[in-house]
A and B are shown apart, each in its own frame.
Chain A
Amino acid sequence: MTLLQISEPGRSPEPHQRRLAAGIDLGTTNSLVATVRSGGPVTLPDSAGHHLLPSVVHYRKGAPPLVGEEARRHLATDPQNTISSIKRMMGKGSADITGSGQRLPYRLVEGDSAVPRLHTAGGEFSAVEISAEILRALRRRAEQSLGGELYGVVITVPAYFDDAQRQATRDAARLAGLNVLRLLNEPTAAAVAYGLEQGAEGIYVVYDLGGGTFDVSLLRLSRGVFEVLATAGDTALGGDDMDLLVARWIMRQAGIGDDAGHHQLRRLLAAARGAKEGLTTAGSVSLEVELEGGGRWRGQLSRSRFEQLVEPLIKKTLAPCRRVLRDASVAADQVREVILVGGSTRAPLVQRLVGEFFGKEPLDGVDPDRVVAIGAAIQADILAGNKPDQEMLLLDVTPLSLGLETMGGLVEKVIPRNTPIPVSRAQEFTTYRDGQTAMAIHVLQGERELVSDCRSLGRFELRGIPPMVAGAARIRVTFQVDADGLLSVSAREETKGVEASIQVKPSYGLTDSEIEQMLKDSLAHASEDVAARTLREQQVEADRVLEALKTALDEDGESLLDSGERTAIEEAMEELRGAREGSDAREIKRAIKRLEQRSQAFAARRMDAGIKRALQGHALEEVAGPAGR
């Protein structure tokens, strides 16, 4: 039986239609999955209550791989079959890896494949396949916790990831059976977790000190959109290095030599990590380490001694901080907020030194281990459509309006500019002529009212519309822009269900200055455009009325009208034709009104007579544009 969650007002899902969404922080050292339930974002623990999943996969012969804590236990004993930090290999070619000078304990499969594969007891695997194992474990955890299949996920990636690395991440997700709603930059996710996109515009710094990597990013928020201005970091600097420094100190204190064995070193590192974590809140911690030759060493480590040990390391992170400021030409005092990410930022010394460097107290309200996953979960919840519209997170917008051509060369805007994407809007159109069986859909981009002043993005035709009187057909045209800015337009005739569609990339080939020019034009010509539109609308309406009436007269004029009545109508038609050629929209409108008044009795008689011949339609396939409804 399903357990229900509390929805936002008016947002209760249809039964069996709940869109379960999750955010995934696919980290180098640890990964996390989070979701929004009953109004708030939470990270999801495993059955033992652990939220962090070590990003480690252990391959075995003849058995499925182990992932997470279970895999990490084999790291020391079976390094060749236990893969950690696979994120560093994502999207890299064999040449990148052998040429990087990185010492990897893994056996690379020899061969000419561009994608490096690792040889393990369980087979040969690429970085994408290994990452997919981690994602699969997170997917299982999420689906068990949420009681259903995931509709989609947002996965975070470092801001500096290039297209190949992003694509590799998407591929890994697909292999794991996940629908990626969007890849989100890690620093942006952290900012979203703090709700900064709803706050003041300006410059934000995200300082991310993880287990093995350090990244600092400078973001600019404007109109609710985060832009990454600069990134810098050190791929071999993190909390693990702090542990190492403390372990060395213990070795010196306890008189342990550099030739200490594997097990001794691991015990030392575990003790060091425990001490580091304890010193986040305590002023001093006691240490106890089993010695290899038997016996134990006991000691005390004070916070000030610990800070002396690690201070040089933390100071090393300030150089990249300086670099991002310089790269973006931003002064430290222009930074609005500093966000801390990564468990190592819990150390009070990190907070103090980072605070001093940027001249302000860093934000630390959200758990730094979970902040990225939480931001991703908030974003996933919105992309899955579970939030009311006014809380729609603005991450990207359509730069120009999107619409289609209607009769008379006019543009009907379907998605206005500055609409947050992804977005889907539908509008209903109808046929212009009796018996019209096809419709040309011309997709346009721009702010002007006339087709000739906008940019054409593509055309397609909807065929197979059943013949009906003009205005009776219902054609639903849907414009959809996905998170990557890809526009798809589809048209569907509602009675018979015939469909046609097209996909275009609206921003393709347009530079910022071209977009700006198009916007300027629209403002400069605004009143002119409105007048032109009104005139064209009345002209189109006049043509429609004249054509409909002509058809009616041809069919029933003889039988239903006497000659006096017919002349009166024809006079009014002539008058309208004259007005239509002029440029006075109001005059055309008046002429249409007069003609309608004079033909009212005729129309009523046609109805009364129950003549439905017009409904039989025409066999001729006529192509005309859609008419507004």
Chain B
Amino acid sequence: MGISLTPAAAEHVRKFIAKRGKGIGLRLGVRTSGCSGMAYVLEFADQIESDDQVFEQHGVKVVVDPKSLLYLDGTEVDYAREGLNEGFRFNNPNVANQCGCGESFSV
């Protein structure tokens, strides 16, 4: 299992890191909060901690801490467009419920 990026997501991550000028990859995580209990964390990774898991996808490093991985295992991250809006979307098989916005979820 693990985490996967679609080619479109990987391409955008690469572009954003290049524009930002630093960063070794993308950090994914979850934390408790929000209307359905958990919320996604999506950040630039500037360093890798010793217990982090690293998945390499289309040349992009995806960094996840072991606790978050329990909730994210099998997740596919995609890059999508909706009208003028665009951004990343999580397709997470562990999710039992999510609030209408998709910003928080429960397992």
Q: Which one, A5, A9, A14, A15, contacts B99 given CB within 8 A?
A: A15
B89 within 8 A of A: yes
Listed residue (A6, A16, A145) with the most chain B CB atoms within 10 angstroms of its CB: A6
A46: chain B residues within 8 A (beta carbon) = 84
B11 within 8 A of A: no
A45: chain B residues within 8 A (beta carbon) = 84
B55 within 8 A of A: no
Chain A nearest CB, measured from B9 CB (Å)? 10
Roughly how many angstroms separate A141 CA and B83 CA in the complex, as a whole number? 11
Roughly how many angstroms separate A37 CA and B80 CA in the complex, as a whole number? 14
Residue tally, chain A, CB below 8 Å to B:
28
Would A3 and B13 count as touching, CB distance under 8 A?
no
Per-position 1/0 for B29-55, Cβ under 8 A of A = 101011100011111111000000000
Chain A nearest CB, measured from B39 CB (Å)? 5
Q: Which one, A5, A12, A47, contacts B84 given CB within 8 A?
A: A47
Per-position 1/0 for A129-151, Cβ under 8 A of B = 00000000000010011110000
Roughly how many angstroms separate A12 CA and B20 CA in the complex, as a whole number? 16
Would A40 and B88 count as touching, CB distance under 8 A?
no
Q: Which one, B83, B88, B103, contacts A6 given CB within 8 A?
A: B88
B43: chain A residues within 8 A (beta carbon) = 6-12
Chain A nearest CB, measured from B81 CB (Å)? 8
Closest to B39 in A: A15
Chain B nearest CB, measured from A297 CB (Å)? 41
Q: A8-B44, A14-B33, A15-B34 in contact; A147/B87 too (CB < 8 A)? A: yes
Q: Which one, B16, B85, B89, contacts A39 given CB within 8 A?
A: B16
Roughly how many angstroms separate A39 CA and B85 CA in the complex, as a whole number? 16
Closest to A38 in B: B16
Chain A nearest CB, measured from B85 CB (Å)? 4
B102 within 8 A of A: yes
Roughly how many angstroms separate A141 CA and B84 CA in the complex, as a whole number? 8
Would B42 and A15 count as touching, CB distance under 8 A?
no
Roughly how many angstroms separate A597 CA and B38 CA in the complex, as a whole number? 51
Size range of the interface on B? 35 or more
Chain A nearest CB, measured from B37 CB (Å)? 10
Would B84 and A15 count as touching, CB distance under 8 A?
no
Roughly how many angstroms separate A328 CA and B31 CA in the complex, as a whole number? 54
Roughly how many angstroms separate A6 CA and B88 CA in the complex, as a whole number? 8
Would B44 and A9 count as touching, CB distance under 8 A?
yes
Would A7 and B42 count as touching, CB distance under 8 A?
yes
A47: chain B residues within 8 A (beta carbon) = 83-84
Chain B nearest CB, measured from A42 CB (Å)? 9
Per-position 1/0 for B80-104, Cβ under 8 A of A = 1011111111100000000111111
B17 within 8 A of A: yes
Would A15 and B85 count as touching, CB distance under 8 A?
no
Roughly how many angstroms separate A4 CA and B103 CA in the complex, as a whole number? 8
Roughly how many angstroms separate A370 CA and B23 CA in the complex, as a whole number? 26
Would A6 and B85 count as touching, CB distance under 8 A?
no
Q: Which one, A5, A144, A146, contacts B88 given CB within 8 A?
A: A5
Residues of A within 8 A of B (CB): 1-12, 14-16, 37-40, 44-47, 141, 144-147
10 residue pairs from A and B, CB less than 8 Å apart: A3-B86, A6-B42, A7-B44, A10-B43, A12-B43, A15-B34, A16-B35, A16-B103, A38-B19, A39-B16
Residues of B within 8 A of A (CB): 12-13, 16-17, 19-20, 23, 26-27, 29, 31, 33-35, 39-46, 80, 82-90, 99-104
Nearest first, the 8 closest Cβ-Cβ pairs linking A and B are A3-B87, A15-B34, A39-B20, A15-B103, A40-B19, A1-B102, A145-B84, A38-B16
A-B contacts besides A3-B86, A14-B39, A38-B87, 15 pairs, CB < 8 Å? A3-B82, A3-B87, A4-B88, A5-B88, A6-B88, A11-B43, A12-B29, A12-B41, A12-B42, A14-B33, A15-B99, A15-B103, A16-B34, A16-B103, A39-B23
